[in-house]
């Protein structure tokens, strides 16, 4: 993996002038340049799209969801079989056609190119160091299952995972599952590649399920067993792929921690303890998905599991909850104003919001302002404290430009913090919806649209005087909405 590197040249957006952005009337004779990457809405209206990604200027002005295409990027690629030319995309087509890869019966060059060009970029904030981009080519011959699932994701991503247009995606997905079962049975494929296939099968279950119920649980359970094997017998010098897998699993676990029933959680708690020991011995830094903050995501996954148990059983654990609170309130956040620090700050506040909302305040601390309320005023004080933290979290997230790749990490804190916004923060509510729409335009994953629906229903209930949490409402709807 370390020998394959890719660097992306910056892309310069073309912006329309104020005169050009005005809608052109039906009688106008002005020329319109043909857009090759323009969004669907602009094409439908037959107006010029400025191709700003992820939301074009016209869709911003209309307040509509922008179904856009990511701009083509210029590549400087280092792959043994890929000749260096000025036109890297043409070179890739030629190389796929001429190389032995093209002789593999399970290769679809168009879908494979789409994976490299667009789909793999949604898999984390660090697209420049993405092991699922060009480095994946060294495993093409070893794992047909992995090829099938990335081709499945590309086929679905091409059409925004619309139910009526994902037949090719479902076909490739079925082939991936059949091939993975065979690989596990024969043991010919490395367990690390089996994990990557399991993971992509698991997370993509949410992309194609219109009932918001299937979270790919069976794949999560299988992947947990694979991770248990890695951390139980750590290599003296773990490979970059093994480190990548650990970070991937931790983030995946975080996205599912409130979705599993309490009786299913114990093996995941045990796995987290083993992972904690593993990363204390092995440095997992600069991860393409979790950065250098794997410890925080581990903590939040455990907190989410505990909050889920409290909502199901009503049984608190004040000592454990006080420990969660202390860890979050004292979490080190650098003063350096970077995308990672803003994101970490929002996730810390996400943890405090769900802790206070779903578990209450640890009995030995009271609300975070130090004021111990009387029984009669406790609900009001609690609400104000949680709302204050939530507002700070939302504002921190909105400071990250919508053009940043870091918005892919925002759905989890946007849901928890956004759910606490009252009707007095109607403008922040609107901005949360706009940000979730932009995330959908960026990664095309339907979970952002489901999150908007959940938040909209929850805000209506709050405005009517019903004090439900987002998890309460999701359970009432029998949803298993995996965000992030």
CA distances from 230 to 268, 269, 286, 360 (A): 15, 16, 20, 37
Residues 361 and 434 in one domain: yes
Residues 396 and 293 in one domain: yes
Q: What pLDDT score does 363 carry?
A: 58
CA trace torsion 233, 235, 236, 241 (10° rounding): -150
Q: Chain-centre distance of CA 152, in angstroms? A: 18
Residues 181 and 247 in one domain: no
Q: 247-268, pLDDT tens digit by residue? A: 999 999 999 999 999 899 999 9
Residues of the chain above pLDDT 70, percent: 82
Residues 131 and 244 in one domain: no
CA trace torsion 298, 299, 304, 306 (10° rounding): 120
Q: Alpha helices, DSSP H only, in 99-256?
A: 109-117, 144-158, 167-186, 191-208, 217-232, 240-256
Find all residues with CB under 8 Å of 395, minimum gap 6, and list them: 428
Is residue 12 situated within a structural domain? no
Calpha distance 330→320 (Å, rounded)? 15
Residue with tokens 């809608």: 23
Residue with tokens 């037949």: 167
Please answer whether residues 400 and 339 qualify as being in contact, where contact means their C-beta atoms are separated by less than 8 angstroms.
Answer: yes
pLDDT category of residue 446 using cuts at 50, 70 and 90: very high
Q: End of a domain among 198, 215, 249? A: 198
Q: Read off φ and ψ for residue 111, nearest 5 degrees.
A: -70, -35
| Structural tokens at position 434 | 């706009």
Q: End of a domain among 198, 230, 247? A: 198
Q: Chain-centre distance of CA 19, in angstroms? A: 37
Residues 324 and 468 in one domain: yes
Q: What pLDDT score does 81 carry?
A: 39
Q: End of a domain among 198, 228, 254? A: 198
Calpha distance 122→484 (Å, rounded)? 11
Residues 189 and 245 in one domain: no
Residues 169 and 261 in one domain: no
Is residue 4 situated within a structural domain? no
CA distances from 409 to 54, 141, 304, 415 (A): 15, 32, 17, 12
Average pLDDT estimate for 28-55: 76
Residues 247 and 394 in one domain: yes
| Structural tokens at position 372 | 């111990």
Task: Considering only the C-alpha atoms of the chain, give the largest distance between any 2 of them, rounded to a whole number of Å.
Answer: 76
With 0-12 / 13-18 / 19 or more C-beta atoms within 10 angstroms meaning exposed / middle / buried, residue 1 is middle
Average pLDDT estimate for 199-206: 95
Q: 129-183, pLDDT tens digit by residue? A: 888 888 888 888 899 999 999 999 999 999 999 989 999 999 999 999 999 999 9
Calpha distance 273→259 (Å, rounded)? 20
| Structural tokens at position 29 | 């004779």
With 0-12 / 13-18 / 19 or more C-beta atoms within 10 angstroms meaning exposed / middle / buried, residue 110 is middle
Q: What pLDDT score does 334 carry?
A: 80
Is residue 290 situated within a structural domain? yes
- In this structure, the number of other CB atoms found within 10 A of the CB of residue 265 comes to 17
Q: How many residues does the chain have?
A: 484
Q: What pLDDT score does 248 carry?
A: 96
Q: What pLDDT score does 194 carry?
A: 96
**Does residue 279 come out as left (phi exceeding 0), alpha (psi in the -120 to 50 range) or beta?**
alpha
Is residue 3 situated within a structural domain? no
Average pLDDT estimate for 395-421: 96
Is residue 63 situated within a structural domain? no
Residues 330 and 276 in one domain: yes
Is residue 10 situated within a structural domain? no
Is residue 212 situated within a structural domain? no
Please answer whether residues 4 and 141 qualify as being in contact, where contact means their C-beta atoms are separated by less than 8 angstroms.
Answer: no
Q: What pLDDT score does 452 carry?
A: 97
Domain that holds residue 113: 74-198
Whether cis (ω within 30° of 0) applies to the bond prior to 54 is yes
DSSP 8-state secondary structure symbol assigned to residue 287: B
Is residue 56 situated within a structural domain? no
- Average pLDDT, rounded, for the chain: 84
Our count of domains for the chain comes to 2
Residues 136 and 270 in one domain: no
Residues 188 and 279 in one domain: no
Residues 189 and 265 in one domain: no
Orientation angle between helical segments 144-158 and 191-208, nearest 10 degrees: 20
- Cα angle value 263/268/271 (rounded, 5°): 145
């Amino acid at each position: 993996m370390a020998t394959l590197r890719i660097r992306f040249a910056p892309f310069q957006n073309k912006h329309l002038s104020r005169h050009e952005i005005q809608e052109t009337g039906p009688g106008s004779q002005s020329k319109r340049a043909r857009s090759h990457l323009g969004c669907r809405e602009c094409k439908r209206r037959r107006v010029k799209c400025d191709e700003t990604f992820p939301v074009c200027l016209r869709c911003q002005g209309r307040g509509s969801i922008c179904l856009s295409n990511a701009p083509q990027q210029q590549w400087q690629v280092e792959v043994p079989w890929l000749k260096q030319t000025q036109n890297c995309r043409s070179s890739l087509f030629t190389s796929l056609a001429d190389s032995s890869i093209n002789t593999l019966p399970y290769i679809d060059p168009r879908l494979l190119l789409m994976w490299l060009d667009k789909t793999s970029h949604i898999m984390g904030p660090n697209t420049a160091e993405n092991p699922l981009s060009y480095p994946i080519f060294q495993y093409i011959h070893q794992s047909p299952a992995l090829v099938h699932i990335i081709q499945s994701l590309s086929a679905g991503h091409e059409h925004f995972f619309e139910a009526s247009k994902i037949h090719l995606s479902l076909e490739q997905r079925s082939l991936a599952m059949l091939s993975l079962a065979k690989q596990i049975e024969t043991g010919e494929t490395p367990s690390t590649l089996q994990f990557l296939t399991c993971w992509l099968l698991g997370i993509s279950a949410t992309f194609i399920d219109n009932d918001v119920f299937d979270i790919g649980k069976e794949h999560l359970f299988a992947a947990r067993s694979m991770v248990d094997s890695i951390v139980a017998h750590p290599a003296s010098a773990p490979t970059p792929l093994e480190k990548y897998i650990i970070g991937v699993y931790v983030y995946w676990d975080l996205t599912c921690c409130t979705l599993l029933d309490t009786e299913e959680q114990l093996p995941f708690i045990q796995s987290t303890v083993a992972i904690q020991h593993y990363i204390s011995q092995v440095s997992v830094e600069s991860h393409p998905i979790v950065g250098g903050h794997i410890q925080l995501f581990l903590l939040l996954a455990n907190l989410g599991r505990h909050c889920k148990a409290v909502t199901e059983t009503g049984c608190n654990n004040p000592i454990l909850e006080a420990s969660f609170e202390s860890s979050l309130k004292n979490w080190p956040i650098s003063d350096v104003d970077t995308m990672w620090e803003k994101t970490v700050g929002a996730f810390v506040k996400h943890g405090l919001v769900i802790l206070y909302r779903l578990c209450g305040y640890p009995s030995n601390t009271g609300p975070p302002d130090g004021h111990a309320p009387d029984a009669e005023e406790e609900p009001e004080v609690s609400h104000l404290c949680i709302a204050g933290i939530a507002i700070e979290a939302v504002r921190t997230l909105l400071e990250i430009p919508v053009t940043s790749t870091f918005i892919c990490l925002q759905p989890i804190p946007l849901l928890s913090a956004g759910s606490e916004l009252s009707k007095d923060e109607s403008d922040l509510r609107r901005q949360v919806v706009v940000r979730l729409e932009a995330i959908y335009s960026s990664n095309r994953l339907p979970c952002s649209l489901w999150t908007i629906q959940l938040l909209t229903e929850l805000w209506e209930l709050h405005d009517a005087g019903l004090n439900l949490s987002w998890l309460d409402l999701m359970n009432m709807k029998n949803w298993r909405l995996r965000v992030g």
